[in-house]
Structure 1
Amino acid sequence: MQASICVPTSSTSHSLLKPNSNPLLGHSLPSKSCFPLKRRASFTTKAVLSTTKEAVLKDFHERRALKIISGLQNFDKENVASVITAAEQGGATHVDIACDPELVKLAIGLTCLPVCVSSVDPAAFPAAVEAGALMVEIGNYDSFYEMGVIFTPEQILNLAKQTKKILPSVALSVTVPHTLSLPDQVKLAEMLEQEGVDIIQTEGGKCSNPSQSGVLGLIEKASPTLAAAYSISRAVNIPVMCSSGLSAVTAPMAITAGAAGVGVGSAVNKLNDVVAMIAEVRSISDSLGASAGTGRRSTSEEKTLKL
């Protein structure tokens, strides 16, 4: 039996493993950009699972993660493909798509970046992980807010517990909703950390209505999620991802505030042209101090995850 593994040419930690090969489940999918390696009988041991998870989370622990989000309810394959391409070519470290196995297969055919899937239904995650996703996210609630649906701390905590029970070895990110007061956001984040969640994601950009235009407006729009990242990062020991309403102007502020990375959605996925998407991702990547494209690590530091 064989598994596919990606060989980086000049890459960050996200290229340590190829989503086409999912050691969390012991399955592999064919990929032209990967070569086969012999799989050992102990392929699904805890040590291998731990190493895989560590590789997926490495950019967060190094406080330079950039996750590009296509949208929890975005099932438009053409748009999702454009977002994935922009993430790959623009210098992102992760891509976040709707929890759909077919979209996951599409994603792993387009990128070597770890694929995260978002949902509020834990039962939907296994099929996506089976297809190649290496990270799951409970969050991206924006589309539900538009329908008047609000998630309580109890509901979110329960969703996290269910997900950990179903997929104990998969990296799990959980969004703390901006609809809670800041102290309640911190309290929920602390409880999620106790449940074994790997990443806390903040939000708030869409709830902000800037009164100014230009740079002042961008800063004003990002202020709720920046405040959440600042407060939560000082209360928990796990990485915090600052998301919602961020731009090349405010992404560096998120890192300064204490975030381990940033998540960007509408600033990219609402653009109509893939070239414009790539430019936007690259602009944000550069603002975080990362070089454009994949040249973020010297050749001497390149590694292949040997399983």
Structure 2
Amino acid sequence: MHSTISMAVSPSCSSQTLLKPYHNHNPLLSNFLLSSSKPSSISLKTRPSLTTKALLSSDKDSVLKEFRQRTALKIISGLLNFDKDNVASVVTAADKGGATHVDIACDPELVKLAVSLTSLPVCVSSVNPASFSAAVDAGALMVEIGNYDSFYEMGRVFSPDEILNLTKETKRILPSVTLSVTVPHTLSLPDQVKLAELLEQEGVDIIQTEGGKCSNPSKSGVLGLIEKATPTLAAAYSISRAVKIPVMCASGISVVTAPMAITAGAAGVGVGSAINKLNDVVAMIAEVRSIADSLNVSSTNRQNLSEEESLKL
């Protein structure tokens, strides 16, 4: 089973077949490539010693801070998105728009690009636990088993036993790194809750819900946006009442439904296609900012910064 999964999402294979050519017009990527031959001060500052337990503990606290405050906003570029131009735009939009986390494909070069553009915690998504270590060495502070949407289009689904095995293997390889696991919407709601409880027992830090891909709204506009988010909102409501760890509501989330997710019991939201499908980085920033404002993330972050400055004084 494990070898099959590894073959399906081998990082080397994916980066060769899915990476789009570099476009000279992208100034964000140009800056990264010009500085890539030099030591990365951001990367060194972020993770000077991977084996230092105190540092790992500090990393986890910083990653989970907004989840504990129920103000987390993670912007997702896509598990199989290896387009450096697009990833650079998504990361910049997350940083400038007021997000708290950014989630990218599990590729060390993409991680280096991300940490050169933002100080936000970088999460990498994969279904291949063996690929996580290199990404963490490159500066990722969080790993995610999930973001399965791209696999459903291939007819690939994940069973509870499979997800539990992937979780155990990831915990074995990276026992101290923040771990998020997506509970697939292909399971019935009671089975999603049961799997979430088992994942909590395995030491998972965050449960992520999904469901946007299975929803086919019959209405347009606001009604359609609410319809599209219904499956993941229902999962967030049910799972958040069954586990003590934070739940992130993702897949099909928009500026309209993000506040509903928090009301339903989520500690944060994950937003992907509403951002990464836009063609302009300015439009991406505006959309992230709208979602952040709907969650009061921006005002909360400003308040936290003011408190930290007061403590320093």
Normalization by structure 1: what TM-score?
0.84
Aligned to 1:212, the other structure's residue is in SS state: coil
**In the alignment, structure 1 residue 225 sits paired with structure 2 residue 235:** no
Partner of 2:285 in structure 1? Answer: 278
- Equivalent position SS for 2:244: coil
- 1:289 and 1:255 map into 2 onto residues whose CA distance is 11
Tell me the SS of whatever aligns to 1:242: strand
Structure 1 residue 200 and structure 2 residue 207: aligned?
Answer: yes
Report the Cα offset of residue 296 of structure 1: 4.8
Q: Name which of 132, 151, 166 aligns with 1:125.
A: 132
**C-alpha contact (below 8 Å) 1:70/1:269 kept by paired residues:** yes
Residue 289 of structure 1 deviates from its aligned partner by: 1.3
Quote how far apart the aligned CAs of 1:205 are: 1.0
RMSD: 2.2
Aligned AA for 1:283? Answer: S
C-alpha separation in 2, matches of 1:269 and 1:258: 26
Check if 1:30 corresponds to 2:40.
yes
- 2:43–2:115 Cα contact (<8 Å) kept: no
Q: CA deviation at 1:54?
A: 1.1
Residue number in structure 2 paired with 1:109: 116
Tell me what 2:88 maps to.
81
Q: Whose RCO is larger (CA < 8 A, sep 6+)?
A: 1
Task: Tell me the residue number matched to 1:300.
Answer: 307
Gap change, CA 1:60 and 1:218, over 3 Å in 2: same
Q: Map Cα deviations across residues 96-132 of structure 1 (whole Å, 9 max, x no partner).
A: 0000000000000000000000000000000000100
The unaligned stretches of length 5 or more in structure 1 are 1-28
Q: How many pairs were matched up?
A: 272
Find the residue that maps to 2:302 and give its secondary structure: coil
Question: Which amino acid counterpart does residue 181 of structure 1 have in structure 2?
Answer: S
**Aligned pairs (5 A) from 1:184-195:** 184-195=191-202
Structure 2: stretches of 5+ with no match in the other structure: 1-38
Structure-2 residue corresponding to 1:53 = 60
- Deviation, 1:292, is 7.1
Structure with the larger strand share? 1
Query: Percent same amino acid among aligned pairs?
Result: 78
CA drift of 1:291 comes to: 2.4
After superposing on structure 2, the runs of 4+ consecutive aligned residues of structure 1 that deviate more than 6 Å are 33-37
State the secondary structure of the residue aligned to 1:291: helix
**Post-superposition offset of 1:36:** 6.7
CA 1:296–1:115 in structure 2 vs 1: closer, same or farther (change >3 Å)?
Answer: farther
* AA matched with 2:73: L
Higher helix proportion (structure 1 or 2): 2
Cα 1:292–1:58, aligned 2, differ >3 Å: closer, same or farther? Answer: closer
CA pair 48-302 structure 1, distance change in 2 beyond 3 A: farther
Answer whether contact 1:66 1:92 (CA < 8 A) is retained. Answer: yes
- Find the aligned partners of 1:93 and 1:226 in 2 and give their Cα distance: 20
CA distance in structure 2 between the aligned counterparts of 1:45 and 1:108, rounded to whole angstroms: 20
Q: Relative to structure 2, which stretch is displaced further, 123-132 or 284-293? A: 284-293
Asked whether the equivalents of residues 185 and 228 of structure 1 are also in contact (C-alpha less than 8 Å), the reply is yes
What do residues 17-58 of structure 1 show as CA deviations (whole Å, max 9, x unaligned)?
xxxxxxxxxxxx633x79979x8xx98443432222111111
Distance 1:126 1:174, change over 3 A: same
CA contact (8 A) 1:79 1:269 kept: yes
In the alignment, which residue of structure 2 is the partner of 1:19? none
- Relative to structure 1, the CA distance from residue 172 to residue 297 in structure 2 (aligned partners, 3 Å threshold; closer, same or farther) is same
SS in 2 for 1:109: helix
Q: What secondary structure sits across from 1:227 in the alignment?
A: helix
